[in-house]
Amino acid sequence: MKRNILVYPSLLLLVITVSIIIISCGGSTQQPTSVELLGSIENAFVSVAKRSIPAIVSVRNERWVEGKYSRQEGSGFIFTKDGYILTNEHVIRGAATIKVRLLDKSVLESELVGSDPNTDIAVLKIDAPEELPVLPLANSETVQVGQFAIAIGNPFQLNHTVTIGTVSGKGRSLLPDRGIVRYQDFIQTDAWINVGNSGGPLLNIHGEVIGINSLIRRQDNTPATSAVRAGAGFAISSNLVEKIGTQLIANGRIIRGYLGIGMEEVPQGIRILRVLRNMPAHLSGLQRGDIITGYNGKKVADSAEFKMWIADSQVGKESKITVLRNGHERMFNVTITQVATCKSMGYPL
């Protein structure tokens, strides 16, 4: 009996050992080689480029400057089958005529539907005899730092240049207010972009637009205008692009909410530095020194985010602002007005 008792565990151990060897050997033969892995990655990039390029256009800004003909070129992409195109506002700024060149090299006159210098977004419209290829917009909230980023555009008139990198950062805010509100939500990338890429798409590995390439920045913050590698590239997030683009198509302009305060971030929230007379903040009873801690039930901590909330608020609708005043919490009902109906006078919100 003792012998039998000892044999069964030995047999069991042998069976387990042989099974592990078989599984290991079988698994190793199924592992792709390094070249195969690289080939799969390469094929993914090639596939994105092939699918995306037909929807990417060259945008030509033609105008007269001091009696001389001037032409500036940038990029853009088609985002509706009936011919609406997204690009940067600075690409078409001051244009007398705007022309769009498609992949088949045909050049079409385009109509400026609307533009927004505060976000650097513009919408163009072209008439085409048939449905056009489009690029879908991704949800930029789901974009993660470290994921692949693919930029396609026309740097230095080198049409449909494809460069690859990663998402280097999110939620960047780079430009000063300078007397007007700037609504910023930049995705930073190390994918190579340069002059002429402006207005072109920054894509994810699925061929979805995560942002519009908008600006580049050198180490010394000087304008990157010569044919050299810039330090970092920045793309306007696709969620902001979709929000602004949809409004421009619907209204031809952007309708933004306005509060009428100057402010600064503090550990508790946002402190009011100035209150513009007869504007919503003043009319609701908000005062200099109040610390805003809540807006419509949401915690207030970031000034850039708070600006976006105010801008997106429905004009004429009452909003609830929670503040700390002399150490006590108070709530105010504020009716947001339209920013276009008032002079900002340097007040940033």
Do residues 90 and 121 lie in contact, with contact meaning Cβ atoms separated by under 8 Å?
no
Q: For residue 41, which amino acid is it?
A: I
Q: Please give the Cα distance from 174 to 309 (Å, whole number).
A: 19
Token pair 């530095």 is at which residue? Answer: 273
| The residue to which tokens 């069976």 are assigned | 15
C-beta of residue 114 within 8 angstroms of C-beta of residue 91: no
Catalytic residue among 90, 115, 185, 290: 90
Amino acid at the residue 160: H
Whether 202 and 149 have beta carbons less than 8 Å apart is answered as yes
**CA distance from start to end of the chain:** 89
Catalytic residue among 75, 110, 198, 319: 198
Catalytic site includes residue 90: yes
Three-class secondary structure of residue 213 per DSSP: strand
* Longest Cα separation, the chain: 110
Torsion of CA 66, 71, 73, 79, to 10 degrees: 90
**Per-residue tokens: 207:** 């061929």
Residue 144 is which amino acid? Q
Strand partners for 107: 101
Cα separation, 347 vs 3, whole angstroms: 92
The type of residue at 142 is T
Catalytic residue among 75, 116, 120, 185: 120
Catalytic residue numbers read 90, 120, 198
